[in-house]
Structure 1
Amino acid sequence: MTSESFEPVTAPSRRTALAAVGAAGLAVALTACSSDDDSSSDSSSSKDTSGSGTAGSSTAQGDAGGTELAKTSDIPEGGGKIFASKGVVVTQPTAGTYKAFSSKCTHQGCAVSSISGGAIVCPCHGSEFSVTDGSVKKGPATQGLPAEQISVSGDSITLA
């Protein structure tokens, strides 16, 4: 044998290993969240940012070249219809007034699933939003549904 000294190699502690795994998981989760935020900011130009709540009102704006969603007769007065494939909810709070909102709940991003009693309902945690302006009627959501732009021309409702 030689007189060299050996330093024993120690494995990382269990606490260190768990912290590293947790940090990696957090990084993945934050990356996924920021990707969602980036994609929603790309479509922010179609949102009503004026705060006036008039996005999607029934004023005839002509066909803006968007996607036809429905006929006005498809949207019940005091209720609405969810267009899951387009990510939008169209409501008719009063006769002849049409509004549109994102169908993505602001609480945790679940898709809303029904409209009942003047409220757009999220099935995940029970948040409810007003068919009139998308505001929160019942939590846990704390922010209303963002308005979407629609136009109504004749009996056709078009997503702008």
Structure 2
Amino acid sequence: MGAGGLALALTACGADTDTPDDAVAAGPAKSGAPGGALGRTADIPVGGGTVFKEQKIVVTQPTAGDFKAFTAVCTHQGCTVASVANGLIQCPCHGGKYKIEDGSVAGGPPKGPLAETAIKVEGDQITLA
């Protein structure tokens, strides 16, 4: 690999372009005001989830009717997780993966789980608790 390629590789691993300035890698996300609307239960697929980037929250539905919420801030270097697929919450920065059931680490470099976030499910609405 030439010097240019090495610099690009080092930049890709060392810089977190998706990290907000105020993010703390292992801390809780800014979850907004209690009672803030997140979405509808129909928007959260069974066995999957949805990332609410503005609130830095990811809501999952591991089994029908069982909704969980976690900070969307990766515990590795503070990037915001980007997607939920195949039962895993996935961080795009360095390949971190977390289980949708409990936010525990399922793969990649993170050393700790995603912190659980309190939500309320009333009817078909999901709000911050």
2:49 pairs with 80, 84, 91, which one?
80
Structure having the larger proportion of residues in strand: 2
> What is the alpha-carbon root mean square deviation over aligned residues?
2.1
Residue 122 of structure 1: aligned partner: 91
Please give the TM-score of this superposition, normalised by the length of structure 2: 0.75
Unaligned runs of 5+ in 1: 1-34, 47-63
Residue 118 of structure 2: aligned partner: 149
Runs of 4+ in 1 over 2 A off after TM superposition: 40-43
- 1:69 paired with 2:38, answer yes
Look at both structures and tell me which one has the larger radius of gyration over its CA atoms. 1
* Matches of 1:80 and 1:116, distance apart in 2: 8
* Matches of 2:56 and 2:83, distance apart in 1: 13
Q: CA-to-partner distance for each residue in 1:46-71, whole Å, 9 max, x for gaps?
A: 8xxxxxxxxxxxxxxxxx95111111
Q: Closer, same or farther in 2 for the Cα pair 1:41/1:135, shift >3 Å? A: closer
Q: CA-to-partner distance for each residue in 1:26-77, whole Å, 9 max, x for gaps?
A: xxxxxxxxx755xx5796xx8xxxxxxxxxxxxxxxxx95111111111000
What letter corresponds to residue 61 of structure 2 in structure 1? Answer: Q
* Matches of 1:123 and 1:72, distance apart in 2: 25
* Matches of 2:104 and 2:121, distance apart in 1: 22
